[in-house]
């Protein structure tokens, strides 16, 4: 991936303005790129989303080696969270839960549409939570998608006086894993692998047989 390679080269050449040092005791337990690229859904998401996920994985590996310590490691999660938003929008569009205008426009909000606590009237008109429940045969996937959205995207990148929502490095690493796991669950829990795949303009659309 172009972006991931560029970041890797930047670290290797020392062009990034961050001091690093190797840790002999550092053991990589986080999944590597090969594991990620072997996931059944990897080629079904847009290339841009794949590069964003790889960026977060690269940050997970590199940041732990830095001497600098930070108050908030949300920046590690940000690329994956952005990819997660794109994945959800694509999923909802491919399953015909949202319209062309919703998908391509500027006004559709994942956090609003997926919120199970949305006002019933608005939820029926604009929500996707109930559609996910129906399509996937239960609340497990819908609840998981919502919880990951809240913890990895919505709450993490907002600031409130009494809710700073700062996370340490281990929490950041866990949030990145949460994104991957939620994509896994959406794919397996909704049996997307068993749906007919139609490729169009580098996008994959899931349809029932």
Task: Show pLDDT as tens, one digit a residue, over the chain (209 residues).
Answer: 454 454 444 444 433 333 333 333 333 456 777 888 889 899 989 999 999 999 999 999 999 899 889 989 999 999 999 999 999 999 999 999 999 999 999 889 999 999 999 888 888 888 999 999 999 999 999 999 999 999 998 888 877 777 678 899 999 999 999 999 999 999 999 888 766 443 333 454 444 44
Exposure b/e, 186-195, CB count within 10 A at least 16 = b: bbebbebeeb
pLDDT value of residue 150: 93
Residue at 19 is within a domain: no
Residue 25 CB partners (closer than 8 Å, separation 6+): none
Query: How far is it, in rounded angstroms, from Cα 169 to Cα 73?
Result: 6
Taking Cα atoms as reference points, which of 49, 55, 53 lies closest to residue 86? 49
Query: How far is it, in rounded angstroms, from Cα 149 to Cα 143?
Result: 10
pLDDT value of residue 182: 96
| Total domains present in the chain | 1
Taking Cα atoms as reference points, which of 133, 130, 111, 110 lies closest to residue 120? 130
| Residue 104 structural domain | 2-13+28-207
pTM of the model: 0.79
DSSP 8-state assignment for residue 109: -
pLDDT value of residue 203: 52
Residue at 21 is within a domain: no
Structure tokens at 111: 């956090």
pLDDT value of residue 172: 94
The 8 Å CB, 24+ separation contacts for 138-144 are: 140/185, 140/189, 141/185, 141/186, 141/189, 141/190, 142/114, 142/116, 143/116, 144/182, 144/185, 144/189
pLDDT value of residue 25: 34
């Amino acid at each position: 991936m172009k972006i991931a390679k560029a970041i890797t080269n930047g670290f290797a050449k020392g062009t990034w303005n961050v001091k690093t040092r190797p840790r002999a005791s550092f053991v990589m337990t986080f999944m590597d790129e090969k594991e990620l690229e072997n996931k059944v859904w990897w080629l079904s998401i847009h290339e841009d989303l794949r590069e964003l996920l790889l960026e977060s994985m690269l940050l997970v590996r590199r940041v732990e080696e830095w001497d600098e310590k930070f108050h908030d490691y949300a920046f590690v999660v940000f690329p994956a969270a952005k990819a997660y938003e794109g994945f959800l929008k694509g999923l909802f569009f491919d399953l015909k839960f949202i319209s062309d205008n919703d998908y391509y426009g500027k006004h559709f909000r994942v956090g609003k549409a997926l919120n199970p606590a949305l006002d019933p009237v608005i939820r029926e008109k604009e929500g996707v939570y109930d559609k996910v429940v129906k399509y996937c045969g239960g609340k497990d996937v819908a609840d998981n998608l919502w919880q990951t959205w809240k913890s990895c995207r919505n709450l993490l990148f907002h600031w409130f006086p009494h809710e700073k929502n700062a996370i340490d490095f281990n929490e950041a690493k866990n949030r990145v894993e949460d994104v991957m796991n939620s994509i896994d669950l959406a794919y397996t829990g909704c049996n997307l692998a068993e749906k007919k795949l139609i490729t169009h303009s580098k996008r994959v659309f899931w349809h029932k047989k």
